Structure 1
Amino acid sequence: MGEVAMTPRVYGPQTGAVVLKHMEVVEVTIHNPNDMPHPLHLHGHAFQIIEYGLAESPFPIPAEFLNTKTRRYSGYPAKRDTMSIPKYQYIKLRFRADNPGVWFMHCHLDIHFIMGMAMVFVEAPDVLQRTMTVPPQMLDLCKRQGVRTWGNAAGNDGYNFGGLPDPPRIVARPPRATGHI
């Protein structure tokens, strides 16, 4: 994408991409405002868990969680690529953008994944443009399928997203009947 590679918009309206500069230190805070733990996974990196504590929640928080203390780490915080965010808590994680590529962060619970508990980091696309070579076999595969190998998320120039497929829709299921027949 040339000069616009560092612009999140060029990756398409469906991605919500966050573009990171090479070697940038990134901190992300994720709140879990409900009574189910969320196993959060980040591809391409091992992050440091630098803080956790009681989350802000739009829901009533049970009394047994209200005394949760905030914990902050210094020195050598734990490093993981997956962390379960406990009920009614938050975690703050940190990683260095030292692995150019497109990396996905998501909840490992399938229903949460499809509900949007996921995000995309486009890391150092300017570095990728200078250093990455796509193998000819991959280009041939795309060509045989009619998939463009240049341009934005729709295979077009700049911010023209014509031809981009519609985003997936979540269809609500009808409520289950209760009681006995």
Structure 2
Amino acid sequence: MGEEAMDSRVYGPQTNAVVLNHQEVIELTIHNPNNMPHPLHLHGHAFQIIEYGQADSRFPIPEQFQGVATTRYVNSPVKRDTVSIPEFSYVKMRFCADNPGVWFFHCHLDIHFAMGMAMVFVEAPDVLQETLRVPRSMYEFCHRQDIATAGNAAGNRLLDFSGLQQAPSVVERAVASPTSD
């Protein structure tokens, strides 16, 4: 995509892509406004947990979850690639975009992942285009399946997504029925 690789829109509406600049420091504050913990995992990085505490007043907090103290890790932040955000709480995490690539950030609970609790970080695509060499066998593999190897998410120019396969709107489960012979 050349220079357009820095535009998150070229990755398609289904990816929730966020483009990061090389060496950019990213800080995310993630709120969990419900009564179920969320184990969130970031591929390609070990992030620092710099703060956590009770969700802010925008969210109704049941009495048993009120009064949780805020904890800040100033001198030696904890490093992880997965963090479980407790019920009615938040976590502030930080990482450096020092690993060019496409990295997935998602909830480890399958149903939440399927409901869209996920996003994609496209990290330093400008650097990636300069340094990544895709093996010829991968191009051949795509061509045999009639998959485009250039262009946007639909294999087209810029924001032309005609022909892009749409993600299913409802999660469908296959139910296996026992059969007898």
TM-score w.r.t. the length of structure 2 is: 0.91
What are the residue-to-residue correspondences of 1:37-52 with 2, within 5 Å? Answer: 37-52=37-52
Other-structure match for 2:158: 158
Summarize the alignment of residues 161-176 of structure 1 with structure 2, pairs less than 5 Å apart.
Answer: 161-170=161-170
Given that 1:153 and 1:164 are in contact with CA atoms closer than 8 Å, whether structure 2 keeps it comes out as yes
Which residue number corresponds to residue 122 of structure 2? 122
**CA 1:131 to 1:172, structure 2 compared with 1: closer, same or farther past 3 Å?**
closer
Q: Secondary structure in 1 aligned to 2:112?
A: helix
Q: How much identity, in percent, do the aligned residues show?
A: 68
Matched residue count: 173
Partner Cα separation in structure 2 for residue 107 and residue 163 of structure 1: 29
Partner SS state of residue 77, structure 2: coil
Provide the rounded CA distance (Å) in 2 between the counterparts of 1:2 and 1:157.
11
The residue number in structure 2 matching 1:73 is: 73
In the alignment, what sits opposite 2:108? 108
CA contact (8 A) 1:33 1:57 kept: no
Alignment deviations for residues 22-68 of structure 1 (CA, whole Å, 9 cap, x no partner): 00000011111111111100000000000101113766422122111
Contact 2:35–2:87 under 8 Å retained in 1: yes
Aligned-pair CA distance for 1:118: 0.6
CA RMSD of superposed structures (Å): 1.6
- Long gaps (5+) in structure 2: 174-181
Normalised TM-score (structure 1):
0.91
Q: In 2, distance between residues paired with 1:123 and 1:72?
A: 27
Q: Given that residues 57 and 88 in structure 1 are in contact (C-alpha distance below 8 angstroms), is that contact kept between their aligned partners in structure 2?
A: no
Aligned match of 2:30: 30
Contact kept? 1:34, 1:57, Cα under 8 Å: no
Q: Give the aligned partner of residue 62 of structure 1.
A: 62
Partner of 2:83: helix, strand, or coil?
strand
Which segments of 5 or more consecutive residues in structure 1 lack a partner in the other structure? 174-181
1:115 aligned partner, one-letter code = M
Question: Could you tell me how far apart the structure 1 residues matched to 2:119 and 2:171 are?
Answer: 21
Q: 1:57 and 1:162, CA in 2 relative to 1: closer, same or farther beyond 3 A?
A: farther
Other structure's SS at 1:5 match: helix
Contact 2:106/2:113 (<8 A) preserved: yes
Q: What one-letter code is carried by the residue in structure 1 that aligns with 2:168?
A: P
Q: Which amino acid aligns with 1:143?
A: H
Alpha carbons of structure 1 residues 118 and 57: separation in structure 2 relative to 1, 3 Å: farther
